[in-house]
Amino acid sequence: MKSSSVNVLYSLYKKTSRGRKVKFTKLLLLAISAGLVEIISIGALFPFLALLVDPGKISNIAPLSWVFSLFNIDVNITTIKLTILLSAIIIVSGIVRFLLINATIKFNFYLAHELGVKIYKNILYEGINTHYDRNSSEILSIMNKLEHLVWATLGSIQFISGLIMALFICTFLILFKVEFFLPLIATIVFFYGLFFLIFRKKLVEGGEVMSASSNKRAQFLQEGLNSIHDILSSHSQRMFLDKFQKIDLKFRNAQIVNQIIGPAPRVLMEVLVMLLIVSLTYISIGESDIYVAIPTLGVIIVGMQRLLPLIQQVYHGWTQFNGNQQIFIDINKLITTKANHLAVRREVGFDQYIEFREIYYKYKRHLPMVINNMNFKIDKGSKVGFIGSTGSGKSTVVDVLLGLISPSKGCLLVDNICLNKEYYQSWQERVAYVPQSIYLLDASYAENIAFGILPCEINFSRVKLAAEIAQISDIIENSVNNYNALIGENGIFLSGGQRQRIGIARALYRQSDVLILDEATSSLDIKIEKQIMENLSKIHDITIIIIAHRYHTLQGCDWVYEINKGSIERKITPEALLAS
């Protein structure tokens, strides 16, 4: 293993908030308190049973006479008083244990909430290249893994609290009767340790299989749902089902192994411990008077009744963690990700121009340049088009313009300021972007147009204006509930052209200085596209950048830049482009 179990847990602990660390400390203190109360309740049983057997003999029992003398307790204390005292101790012990269980469960699930929010936040703020490099199914599976983490973390916390309480009880029992409890506890620890050493590798391997299989399961589910039209039309359900069935069976087999290993030793240990108790008790009692032997037997029975479940809890908690260790590592990686929201923000204005100055870009060091020494300038308020074949670099130009990626070399200039990550947030607030493929929320028209705005904060006047310019207002206003009508998952009830118009309306709602249309009208007929372009041209002082394959989409542009192999091949007017 690359990381020890303790290092993985400690690494995750360091990522938690200060408040969570404080609560964990309180949890440990509560576990210590529970341990102390447990040994008091077990220890109080001895004088109680001794008093019941023969009240007159209490002063003859050395440990009891010493305790009674230390706390100035009358050796002639009545049975009823001792019964009340023992009952009170047992009640307090039960309350403390309940508080510990309550605190453990609350801590665990709030920790899972904190980690889930932190992971989702990091995902949303990660750079675009990270998303390009990672399969989206990994993100979907990580939330499923988080549920496994909840129970693995609960096991880890129970391991710690159980270990603390078990240590207190073991110490007390060994001090109470060393010749009896030392060999008994040593035997229990030896066999549990042996079980763990035998099965640890199996647990870790099972955890790795579950982690990898979880990613694949999410991937196959996503591929099946996204390809449902092709699957139904080609009757290829069997292939997708076979792939899912194999990986799910692998996942379940690993789960079975991990779930069996945890509780397996308990049955064997209960039988072994009972035999040891019977044997040792017989030997011990045979050497003692009855008024000592019966209280001792009571402490043995109650002590082991409390200790065995705690040792099983410790073992099961540790197996739970080791069986899910890879999931801890996966979660830890996503929490560790340094997201862009940590960057310092600097403001940038836009009053004059945008310029690409000697820009180069490649996605990875070993890959070729996607943009090669690109230079162009876009004046504020102008309308500029880009055209080029597939793979020429148009999408990468858009990502640089949006501040989603930084040039490998060169500068993106805005009013003679070379933008870096500190300026990106300010710049992105000035730019609205419409991609070719629009993702729509399973929400209302208004919520989709006012994307990223809480429903209670939506400006409906702006929504209606944006819809009118995008030529979608008539369709919305003729529907039931008009702007509050639901459009289905990813706009399933809408045509491709209608989805693109909502995408344009979404960008216009932002009222940005720059509008980038990346093949944003490819599903529209020429008449509607022309009307939208005319509406856009009426917006005062907006800079429009159009990326297109179709020549007629670029009509009305001031200039068109033709991109070839990552470079500007020529700068030309739309009329000259059509003529050529």
359 neighbors 374 (Cβ within 8 angstroms): yes
Q: What pLDDT sits at residue 374?
A: 94
Nearest residue to 121 (alpha-carbon basis) of 345, 344, 339: 339
Helix (H, G, I), strand (E, B) or coil at 118: helix
For residue 385, give the H/E element and its range.
strand 383-387
Helix (H, G, I), strand (E, B) or coil at 410: strand
Is the Cα torsion angle 107, 109, 115, 120 positive or negative in sign? negative
Is the Cα torsion angle 22, 27, 30, 31 positive or negative in sign? negative
CA 173 to chain centre: 43
Residue 427 tokens read as 């710049």
Residue 200: exposed, middle, or buried by beta-carbon count in 10 A (0-12, 13-18, 19+)?
middle
Nearest residue to 523 (alpha-carbon basis) of 463, 455, 392, 435: 435
Amino acid symbol at 560: V
CA 191 to chain centre: 36
Helices (H) and strands (E) counted in the chain, each on its own, are 20, 10
Residue 122 tokens read as 């990091």
Q: Where are the alpha helices (DSSP H) in 235-323?
A: 237-261, 264-286, 290-323
Q: What pLDDT sits at residue 2?
A: 46
Is the Cα torsion angle 14, 139, 423, 466 positive or negative in sign? negative
Helix (H, G, I), strand (E, B) or coil at 379: strand
Contact partners, residue 486, CB within 8 Å, separation at least 6: 442, 443, 444
Question: Using H for helix, E for strand and C for coil, what is the string for 454-493?
Answer: CHHHCCHHHHHHHHHHCCCHHHHHCCCCHHHCECCHHHCC
Contact partners, residue 479, CB within 8 Å, separation at least 6: 445, 485
What length does the chain have? 580
Residue 520 tokens read as 């944003």
213 neighbors 207 (Cβ within 8 angstroms): no
Q: How far is CA 54 from CA 59, 87, 293, 300, in A?
A: 11, 20, 12, 19
Is the Cα torsion angle 44, 50, 53, 55 positive or negative in sign? negative
pLDDT in tens, 477-497: 998 889 999 888 878 878 889
- Return the percentage of the chain with pLDDT > 90, whole number: 27
Distance CA(510)–CA(455), nearest Å, equals 15
Strand order from edge to edge, sheet including 417-418 = 371-379, 353-361, 409-414, 417-418
Distance CA(555)–CA(573), nearest Å, equals 9
273 neighbors 186 (Cβ within 8 angstroms): no
pLDDT in tens, 372-395: 999 999 999 999 999 988 888 898
Nearest residue to 502 (alpha-carbon basis) of 380, 405, 479: 479
463 neighbors 443 (Cβ within 8 angstroms): no
- Residue 562 phi/psi, 5° resolution? -100, 125
324 neighbors 9 (Cβ within 8 angstroms): no
Is the Cα torsion angle 552, 556, 560, 563 positive or negative in sign? negative
Helix (H, G, I), strand (E, B) or coil at 168: helix
Q: What pLDDT sits at residue 299?
A: 78
276 neighbors 195 (Cβ within 8 angstroms): no
Residue 215 tokens read as 């990613």
Segments in the chain below pLDDT 70: 1-5, 50-79, 135-136, 280-293, 337-343
CA 534 to chain centre: 46
